[in-house]
Structure 1
Amino acid sequence: MPTTPTLDAIRTKSGPPRRFCVAPMMDWTTSHYRYLARQLSRNTLLYTEMVTTGALIHGDTARFLRHDEAEYPLALQLGGSDAGELAHCAQLAQQYGFDEVNLNVGCPSDRVQNNMIGACLMGHPDKVADGVRAMIEATDLPVTVKHRIGIDGRESWDDLCEFVEKVAEAGCRTFIVHARIAILEGLSPKENRDIPPLKYDWVYRLKARYPHLEIIINGGIKTFDECHEHLRHTDGVMLGREAYHNPWLLAGVDPAFFGQAAPSESRHQALRAILPFIQSELDRGVFLTHMSRHLLGLFHGQPGGRQFRRYISENAHKAGAGLEVIETALAKVREPEAPEIAEA
């Protein structure tokens, strides 16, 4: 097999810290969710939803790439396989101020497969390498890849090593590894997030075999205890659904992983901090329900949390709904007398 490059030979910058990341998730990691997340953790690396190269080149580029500076550090995830298009979109990522550009090689949906996007690219390591090389040449941003440990038909350890080595030869230093294969025939995207067994040991072995590469582990991680165990073997952890459904978890990240105080001492404080942002979005014509849906898990497990969720769900969609809906819902949850401690 080809020899992987030394650190000196890899041209990508190291970029933002990736010790703790929130995964890119379609319909979930929107700018509105990310603004909330940033009130809970200053250091967590946030990712956009996957944006296809076609959407950026032929669609409303400014709308797809719009974000607030408060969301930094922030990475743009791209879906695509054409080297020229990926290079162009990497330039856009730099132009719009992102901290990193990431290539999706993990999404298993039929729609993206048909466009040679996502997990099916695990079967085409040379094409991924060409795309990564083109992006690196087009931008000063770090270029990273998020991928599975394999796909049906290419699921051996040697297949995984071949993929990593070819993409590393193209200059990629950082690999975010979802520790499951993707089964492209017979399973839905939802089933692909749960049914293929997790093989964390394969991700650990990648780091041991390629110590000069940055290896971030992803897949099924829910607690800080699990994170700390993974960090004994890898360079960083990436959480997905747990960080979305229970966003207060992020308030524990800065103390637990970066030795810093959390930016908000309570859920109430975090929510009040984003009210001006919500109002500015309302003034821009954004419907409240597009933003409030990301708040529903903030009081997960708290007295009054169910009433908070119900009130928002029943009222945010109504014509003319504004901040009064959030404020009324917030009043249904008792405010703590002392700083809250986020645990996961």
Structure 2
Amino acid sequence: MQVAGIPAASEDSSTTSTDAGAPPQGVAPGPIARDAALRVGVLLPLSGAYAATGRELFQAVEMALFEVDAERVELLPRDTASDAETARTAFLELAAEGASLVIGPLFAWTTGAVVPEAVDRGIPVLALSNDISVADREAWMLGVHPRGEVHRILGHAIEEPGQRVGLIVPESDYGDAVAEAYQLAVPPRNRSGLIRYNDDSEPSDVAQQFVDTVRGSASRPGDAILIAARGNALRAIAAELAYRDVAPDQVRYLGLSSWRTSDLQGEPALEGGRFADLSEEAFRQFAERFRRIYGTSPSRTAALAYDASAVAANLAGIDPDTRIAWLQTPQGFRGLLGAFRLLTDGAVERSLDVYEVRRDGYSLLERAPARFAPTPQG
């Protein structure tokens, strides 16, 4: 591996080999490249307010290449400075230098400036944003989007056709994305109510509004409520719902990955609640290796940057004429935190675990499916 512009991690670092970024077992790798050299652009905020984040993500990119023993990849890091025009200019430089793939940018506004230029030039992009509104064909958003989390937790929780599911979401772009996914996943006859709240909303009012909307039917055994909240708002809303006889022993409380970052210990209403998230066990293993090499703790976004780099390493051995088809293989890839696949609309489908809230923390309830369905969904 060669890196232009930023020193590489030490090759004698103690790491564990991994097959992240490779197709699942039994999937043909595709034709071998005639010219195996692959120039990979990396667009990250390496200066300004987010420089520390950019540096961490670049370290994860390096780490992946060393762990998969990629020798035929040249990294071309460029600074976006968290600015849209700077990101666009940096991408054009990479295109002029012959980059065959770009990892990054990180933010939606920088990604949005790069994607049209990349699509016009036929250069695939593995961005680290989760805003699928800036995705396009051959420009994928590797960030975890609520759509996949909603699909996973509802698929796990809904066992009978007659089950009803309600939704409580914040008034925000995130809340809008969750609500859209909920409406796609749950038929109208199975929706027991959709309530939005804002920073000024009293949890008691939110809970009462939900109860009034469903007219008491939400307390039927087997029903569920998806609460797309976090932190104090999540704990308070759950407690107020339980107080109004939307009892957690009858109504399943469901959540998304935001639940993991909330301190839910000591809130009885949430015990037994379930949420979807990437593999925590796999992330801990990655974090230990990262700390051993770099001396700092990584974010979960660093694991996504690692996956993008591992995909690039495997792409180096694929014939240029078949690379896009290989990237879109329906079987997907073995990711660091679970399997994932790149869909034709620029979204990324991920395989997620289901966790249950316990009095002393969280426990793994159901592992992510080992394989995707034969054809992509959505």
TM-score for both structures, normalised by structure 2: 0.30
TM-score (norm 1): 0.32
Bigger radius of gyration among the two: 2
Q: Which has the higher contact order (CA 8 A, sep 6+)?
A: 2
